[in-house]
Amino acid sequence: MKFCLENKSAIVTGGGSGIGKAISKIYGAHGAMVHILDYEIGLAEDTVKAIESSGGKAAAYQCDVSDGKSVKATIAKIVKQGHIHILVNNAGVAHVGNLELTEEHDMDRLYAINIKGVYNCMRWCVPYMKEKGGVILNMASIASSVGIPDRFAYSMTKGAVLTMTYSVAKDYLREGIRCNSISPARIHTPFVDGYIAKNYPGKEKEMFDKLSKTQPLGRMGTTEEVANLALFLSSDEASFITGTDFPIDGGFIKLNG
């Protein structure tokens, strides 16, 4: 079977919802043992149930990726069960606002999760991956590469994710660790629905359609589409790919403007 992950162990952070949940489910469907890390353990457990109900294997862990000690302890538990083949750094938070509408505590919060969280997970997975090789996928964003209005802090963190990806890919070539990133544009997730409901009550459909049309293809992407890309990049079929960012953006980066 193409893109088979049988006998492989995968860690997905933020796997309790949205893109992380979709990636966890597709990994499980293709044979991986999926270790789901999430701050909200209930959400992670729901994803585990969804994977197991389809015949897959998964486990849930409550973990704050911004806390190095928490990450180290969680990774140590997982390693006792076998080699870590795949790490997906998906956990992240957003902030809407330009420079003047971004407070210091906003910067600290996004740095802690979006940058330090990615660092923590790679820091404690890479030493184990060096033994037999592995794959790291970091969730960047189109905001890593192009200017997005009112995303000052978010763009800062995703730019860092992109450059961390390049650095790790370069430094661990000889250890057989491939490191790539995925840069989504607007993807239809519960976060998007919540944002629209909170900021545009009574105009949800109108705003959803408006945001969808900002992509040249005229719609938002789906979490399943991102998961399909993650599956390919994690598989042996992508063994010649490292140090690369993959936009999945409906043409946003190249065709807007």
User: Which residue among 27, 39, 61, 154 is the active-site one?
Assistant: 154
Angstrom distances, CA of residue 184 to CA of 36, 204, 215: 21, 22, 11
Q: CA–CA separation, 190 vs 196, rounded Å?
A: 10
- Rounded to a whole number of angstroms, the CA Rg of the chain reads 18
CA of residue 49 relative to chain centroid, distance: 20
Across 51-77, b (16+ Cβ under 10 Å) vs e yields: beeeebebbbbebbbbbbebbeebbee
Residues with Cβ < 8 Å from 226, sequence gap 6 or more?
19, 22, 23, 182, 184, 187, 248
Q: CA–CA separation, 27 vs 135, rounded Å?
A: 13
144, 155 in Cβ contact below 8 A? Answer: yes
240, 211 in Cβ contact below 8 A? Answer: no
Among candidate residues 68, 78, 77, the one with its CA nearest the CA of residue 11:
78
Task: Give catalytic status of residue 154 as yes or no.
Answer: yes
CB atoms within 10 A of CB 82: 12
- Name the residues annotated as catalytic: 154
